Amino acid sequence: MAFDNRRRTPEELAEVAAEIRRDIIKMLVEAGSGHSGGPLGTTDIYAVLYLGGILRHRPEEPNWAGRDRYVLSAGHMAPVLYATLANAGYFSKEELLTLRKYNTRLQGHPGRDTGLPGIETSSGSLGQGISIAVGMAMSDKLLDKSDRRVFSLTGDGELQEGSVWEAVMAASHYKLDNFCWIIDNNDCQIDGRIDEVMSVYPIDAKCESFGFDTITVDGHNFDELYGAFDRFIENHRNGTGKPTAIIAKTYMGKGVSFMHDKFEWHGKPPSAAEAELALKELMASN
């Protein structure tokens, strides 16, 4: 069946997101390593982007020349990207269970060399993906004069990498209104709360001062997410000359009670017993 890239109701998106979260849990427990917290925390954003009609893309034709591009800068959150791509039909869901295994296309961090459909670039060293995305947006807007859009998601801890600010400085300098920067603001990183490790706050004022139209939303509220992405699309359509930043307030481990808002879940997978518990909760929430 052809991919239906339409907008969906919050109820429909909740179902989509629950399915992606279940896939993430299944992948991680099978892999025995990997990141749980961030992927579960950003799932709702992916549901809107890929399965809610925001990204213009064709899963059956991944290299379609007219597609919008999505670059996951925080490469460690690969499980949610893989699970979303599989749910959109880029590849089979069975393949999800090969995550992090020998010879897999689902590398621990996205690897372009594997040829996995839907992966625009390798990423995993923080602070680089966003800069690649800016390069793509420059190519689309300044050289090809196309109306393609580029989205890139960074973590909030990732903002500690100085090269992030080099990238967004350039996005603003080149008036890339076709560029949408999503910041996953779950306030957690491996060593603890952002403020304890190295504060990046206030994020919104920084984005504003770097020339971005800045929108802060509840990253688990589909209406608010739609509102923010719609404003970006409007900005682009109207040629405002300003890139857009969406600060999505999220909870690490969203959807699984014992992972909720706990930075300890940044970089580990659930055990078999924990996975069973998590899947039960995710069935009920659907």
Cite the DSSP H helix spans in the chain: 10-31, 37-51, 78-88, 129-138, 162-173, 194-198, 203-209, 222-238, 272-284
One-letter amino acid of 80: V
Among 60, 61, 147, 166, the residue binding other proteins under the rule CB under 8 A is: 166
One-letter amino acid of 170: A
In the complex, minimum distance from the CB of residue 133 to other proteins, in angstroms, rounded to a whole number: 6
Among 53, 62, 89, 135, the residue binding other proteins under the rule CB under 8 A is: 135
Q: Check binding of 240 to other proteins (CB under 8 A).
A: no
**Interhelix angle 10-31/272-284, nearest 10 degrees:** 170
Among 5, 98, 160, 163, the residue binding other proteins under the rule CB under 8 A is: 163
Q: Check binding of 174 to other proteins (CB under 8 A).
A: yes
Among 1, 2, 143, 284, the residue binding other proteins under the rule CB under 8 A is: 143
Sequence-distant (≥ 6) Cβ neighbours of residue 61 within 8 angstroms = none
Asked whether the beta carbons of 123 and 132 are under 8 A apart, the reply is yes
Q: Check binding of 285 to other proteins (CB under 8 A).
A: no
Place of tokens 């995993």: 124
Q: Which of 63, 64, 62, 46 is closest to 54 using CA atoms?
A: 46
Q: Check binding of 137 to other proteins (CB under 8 A).
A: yes
Q: Name the one range near other proteins by CB under 8 A: 1-9, 12-20, 93-101, 128-136.
A: 128-136
Q: What are phi and psi of 215, to 5 degrees?
A: -125, 130
- Look up residue 193 and give its two tokens: 């709360």
Q: Check binding of 121 to other proteins (CB under 8 A).
A: yes
Q: Check binding of 120 to other proteins (CB under 8 A).
A: yes
Rounded to the nearest 5 percent, the helix, strand and coil shares of the chain are: 50, 10, 40
* Number of chain residues interacting with other proteins (CB under 8 A): 32
| CA dist., res. 89 & res. 86, Å (int) | 5
In the complex, minimum distance from the CB of residue 116 to other proteins, in angstroms, rounded to a whole number: 13
Residues 54-113 that bind other proteins (CB under 8 A): 111-113
Residues 15-44 that bind other proteins (CB under 8 A): none
Among 20, 106, 134, 176, the residue binding other proteins under the rule CB under 8 A is: 134
Q: How far is CA 137 from CA 1, 172, 233, in A?
A: 31, 11, 14
Among 66, 147, 169, 227, the residue binding other proteins under the rule CB under 8 A is: 169
Site residues for other proteins per CB under 8 A:
111-113, 120-125, 127-128, 131-140, 142-144, 162-163, 166-167, 169-170, 173-174
